[in-house]
């Protein structure tokens, strides 16, 4: 498995070595020892989640705050998504910066999203199944978010806004400036 730092501090792309033959494929999705050796981070994942989405479904940008903040390891089990993260850590040199990556079932790449990041994705294929490991349990009162079309962040979601399917809850999220001021 290859693990590479993104332009955002503590945010990594994991690219597995995939073994393919006439039966299908096999790959290791996570190895705690290798992750710790390459990144210097020790992560204890305690909750796994999955979502299924149709083309154009945009989920995000979400995060949890305080002691319930979550680091996540995300991947696509079926389909293709554009995954976007934003660094919300005010002390970070990458504060306010974003990173995006295509995650799909062709390359099987994963993204490690550290605590203090907002995270979202949009489905680019007919459907997607998105899986993520979390190092903390979900806690409703600690949930936060940033509106997907924030004028400060200017995120490129790769689809026309007319194709977006966004939940009522996500449409009501505050701006980056409201969250970080």
Q: Catalytic residue numbers?
A: 62, 132
Q: What are phi and psi of 177, to 5 degrees?
A: -60, -40
What is residue 161's three-state secondary structure? helix
CA distances from 117 to 36, 151, 176 (A): 20, 18, 12
Taking residue 162's Cβ as centre, other Cβ atoms within 10 Å add up to 6
């Amino acid at each position: 498995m290859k693990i590479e730092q993104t332009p955002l501090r503590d945010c990594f792309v994991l690219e597995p070595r995939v073994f393919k033959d006439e039966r299908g494929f096999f790959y290791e999705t996570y190895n705690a020892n290798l992750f710790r050796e390459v990144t210097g981070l020790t992560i204890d994942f305690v909750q796994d989640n999955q979502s299924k989405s149709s083309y154009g479904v945009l989920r995000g940008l979400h995060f949890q705050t305080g002691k319930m903040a979550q680091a996540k390891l995300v991947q696509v089990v079926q389909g293709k998504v554009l995954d976007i993260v934003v660094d919300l850590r005010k002390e970070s040199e990458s504060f306010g910066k974003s990173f995006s990556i295509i995650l799909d079932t062709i390359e099987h790449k994963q993204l490690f999203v550290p605590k203090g990041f907002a995270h979202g994705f949009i489905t680019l294929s007919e459907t997607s199944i998105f899986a993520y490991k979390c190092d903390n349990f979900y806690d409703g009162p600690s949930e936060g978010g940033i509106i997907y079309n924030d004028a400060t962040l200017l995120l490129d979601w790769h689809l026309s806004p007319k194709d977006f399917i966004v939940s009522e809850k996500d449409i009501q999220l505050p701006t980056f400036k409201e969250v970080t001021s």
